[in-house]
Amino acid sequence: MPVCLAQKPATAGTPDAALVSDFEAKVKQYLDFRQQQVGPPQKPTNNPGDIVAKQHERGNKLRVARAGAKQGEIFTPQIAAYFRRQIAASLAGAHGKEIRSSLAHAEPVKMELQINQSYPSNQPLQSTPPTLLLNLPNLPDGLEYRLLDRELVLRDTEGNVVVDYVPNALPESMK
Amino acid sequence: MRTCYSVLVYLCICVFSVTAEAQQLGVKLPLHSGSVRFAVIGDSGTGNKEQYEVAQELDRYRQAVKFDFVIMLGDNIYGGHSASDFKRKFEEPYKALLEAGVKFYASLGNHDDPNIERLYKPFNMNGQRYYTFKRGNVQFYALDSTYMDTQQLTWLEQNLRSSNALWKICYFHHPLYNDGKMHGPDLDLRNQLTPLLKSYGVNVVFSGHEHAYERIKPQNGIYYFIQGDSGKLERHDFHRRDEMQTSFDRDRTFMLVEIDGDNLYFQTVARSGETVDAGVLTRQSGPARAAAGR
């Protein structure tokens, strides 16, 4: 595949591979929980009001079910440190200059982050450089990474809910 | 015999009226029988007066050009995404086109809400952030450039490889090349996409994001257009650089495209009806394509 991987993924049997496995297990656990709470994904419709209403309904169910959720439950300190290392390695790698340029043009969004909050649909999405995404563990459908200023958010796309985030995922120099 | 004659007369009248209308409007496309015709709009969803005026002009051209679909280069709905926003920023401005059966194929921009718009049937995304469709001998790939993850790159490679279409057209929001002052090119996206576009014979790329119109000189043999001004506009937006073929930043525009065999005809029309760019591009292939990229 002619895609430029900036860095090799974690090698099996290493401490980093164990962290990635741990992260993937937590993600799967979340998705199983989500499936129980809100059911299967929405289907396309002509009525945008229905889409928005169902998204709110799903988000609210998740917020109630995860009322006690805290930052760091998925991005534990060790996993968060792994993500910061991966991002720093991407920025220091062969494509670091291009990644920095893309980040500078990404229309950074500044807002106070809270677990379970919904991402306001009237705010633009900060684009995430693809080389950076290539160096992070893959996510299953229904979840995505989003940069918000310097934080890396794990977002539930079905319910539009912030599941967890890595504080200061981008280095201070990117501010 | 009489029926055949009547049909022939009817067809002649239709062709004549289309041609007369097209001439009156200043249509530069050849309008060949059996060609693939479509329109292009980008950064359209403001809901402001100018978007409606562009849409009106687009509908005038539809009546002459008879295109039956429109590709959208992202920022389809700015700001809120309530039902009334969809009405004001899409359904109302393009009402005449929608009623005429014109289909819209949206790609996602940074101002779009992927989880609402991909589920909105009139955008024909079928619940996906990225997707492909084919018209005649042209394969279209609508990509989500705000979030180009590994799955999307893998999907794109598989779908480019498996297509036997004569023309391959990718469209997505963030431009890989662009001389605008407001945003400029996305260099990391360029790094990741260019090897795929080159390896699998993509002919043309359309992008938005920069709120103006620009046609880039072929890069690696690929034709690039930026058309991000069907609603928003950034006046006096350009640095004049070598890679620029032509640009326009004085008014909102849309594009008309006709593909017939090995030729792609294009015409860029401003809100006023003025044609600001037009021409014909020849399909790249094999060694000629490699030469064009030098």
Q: Are A135 and A66 in contact (CB under 8 A)?
A: no
Rounded-to-5 percentages of helix, strand, coil across chain B: 30, 25, 40
Does the residue B29 lie in any domain?
A: no
Query: Which helix (H) or strand (E) segment is B95 a member of?
Result: helix B95-99
Chain A hits for B202, Cβ within 8 Å: none
Closest-approach residue (CA) in chain B for A3 = B192
Query: Using 50, 70 and 90 to split pLDDT, how confident is the model at B293?
Result: very low
Q: Kindly report the nearest CA distance between residue B217 and chain A, in angstroms.
A: 22
Cα–Cα–Cα angle for B202, B222, B186, nearest 5°?
Answer: 95
pLDDT digits (tens, 9 = 90+) for B248-291: 999 999 999 999 999 999 999 999 999 999 999 999 975 334 43
Does the beta-carbon distance from B150 to A44 stay under 8 Å? no
Q: Are A95 and A3 in contact (CB under 8 A)?
A: no
Query: Which helix (H) or strand (E) segment is A34 a member of?
Result: helix A15-38
> Parallel, antiparallel, or unpaired for β B167-172 and B213-219?
unpaired
Alpha-carbon gap, residue B212 to B253, rounded angstroms: 8
**Does the structure show a pLDDT above 60 at A4?**
no
Does the beta-carbon distance from B115 to A45 stay under 8 Å? no
Chain A hits for B122, Cβ within 8 Å: 46
**Does the structure show a pLDDT above 50 at A2?**
no
Lowest mean pLDDT among B3-12, B21-30, B155-164, B243-252: B3-12
Instruction: Give Rg (Cα) of chain B.
Output: 19
Does the residue B33 lie in any domain?
A: no
Q: Residue B158 forms beta bridges with which residues?
A: none
Does the residue B61 lie in any domain?
A: yes
**% residues pLDDT > 90 (chain B):** 82
Torsions phi, psi for B82 (to 5 deg) = -80, 170
Alpha-carbon gap, residue B294 to B291, rounded angstroms: 5
Q: Are B232 and B212 in contact (CB under 8 A)?
A: no
Q: DSSP secondary-structure letter at B193?
A: H
**Does the structure show a pLDDT above 60 at B17?**
no
A122, A131, A154, A155: best mutation site toward chain B, by most B Cβ within 10 Å? A122
What is the structure's pLDDT at B53? Answer: 98
Does the residue B219 lie in any domain?
A: yes
Q: Kindly report the nearest CA distance between residue B110 and chain A, in angstroms.
A: 5
C-alpha neighbours within 13 Å on the C-beta side of residue A59: 20
Give the mean pLDDT of A146-157: 91
Query: A95: burial class by Cβ within 10 Å (0-12, 13-18, 19+)?
Result: buried
Query: Using 50, 70 and 90 to split pLDDT, how confident is the model at B182?
Result: confident
| DSSP assignments along A115-150, one per residue | TTPBPPTTSPPPPB-HHHHHTS----TTEEEEEETT
Does the residue B70 lie in any domain?
A: yes
Q: Count CB-CB contacts under 10 A for residue A77.
A: 8
Alpha-carbon gap, residue A119 to B150, rounded angstroms: 23
**% residues pLDDT > 90 (chain A):** 65
CATH of the domain at B252: 3.60.21.10
Closest-approach residue (CA) in chain A for B180 = A105
Torsions phi, psi for B162 (to 5 deg) = -85, -10
What is the structure's pLDDT at B240? Answer: 80
**Does the structure show a pLDDT above 90 at A47?**
yes
Nearest to A48 among B83, B154, B191 (CB): B83
Closest-approach residue (CA) in chain B for A51 = B116
- More confident call, B99 vs B287: B99
Does the residue B155 lie in any domain?
A: yes
Tell how far CA B19 is from the center of its chain. 23
Residue recorded with tokens 């979840």: A143
Nearest to A130 among B81, B153, B157 (CB): B153
Chain B hits for A160, Cβ within 8 Å: 115
pLDDT digits (tens, 9 = 90+) for B50-70: 999 999 999 999 999 999 999
Query: Using 50, 70 and 90 to split pLDDT, how confident is the model at A124?
Result: confident
**% residues pLDDT > 70 (chain B):** 91
Give the mean pLDDT of A9-38: 89
**Does the structure show a pLDDT above 60 at B16?**
no
What is the structure's pLDDT at B203? Answer: 98
Does the residue B75 lie in any domain?
A: yes
> Parallel, antiparallel, or unpaired for β B263-270 and B244-248?
unpaired
Q: DSSP secondary-structure letter at B47?
A: -
Q: Are B134 and B146 in contact (CB under 8 A)?
A: no
Lowest mean pLDDT among A70-84, A101-115, B168-182, B242-256: A101-115
Chain A hits for B85, Cβ within 8 Å: 48
**A26 is written with which tokens?**
């937590």
Query: Using 50, 70 and 90 to split pLDDT, how confident is the model at B294?
Result: very low
What is the structure's pLDDT at A9? Answer: 61
User: A-side interface with B, Cβ within 8 Å?
Assistant: 1-4, 41-49, 51-52, 55, 95, 97-99, 101-102, 105, 107, 121-122, 124-134, 138-139, 144-146, 157-158, 160
Alpha-carbon gap, residue B271 to B290, rounded angstroms: 37
**B157 is written with which tokens?**
């490679």
Mean of pLDDT over chain B:
91
**A128 is written with which tokens?**
């995430």
Give the mean pLDDT of A45-66: 94
**A159 is written with which tokens?**
């319910």
Alpha-carbon gap, residue B202 to A38, rounded angstroms: 40
Strand positions, DSSP E, chain A = 143-148, 151-156, 161-166
Q: Residue B223 forms beta bridges with which residues?
A: B204
Does the beta-carbon distance from A52 to B183 stay under 8 Å? no
pLDDT digits (tens, 9 = 90+) for B195-205: 999 999 999 99
Does the residue B203 lie in any domain?
A: yes
**Does the structure show a pLDDT above 70 at B6?**
no
Task: Specify the number of domains making up chain B.
Answer: 1
Chain B hits for A56, Cβ within 8 Å: none
For chains A and B, count residue pairs whose Cβ atoms are closer than 8 Å. Answer: 131
Domain residue limits at B78:
38-292
Query: Which helix (H) or strand (E) segment is B23 a member of?
Result: helix B2-25
Give the mean pLDDT of A59-79: 95
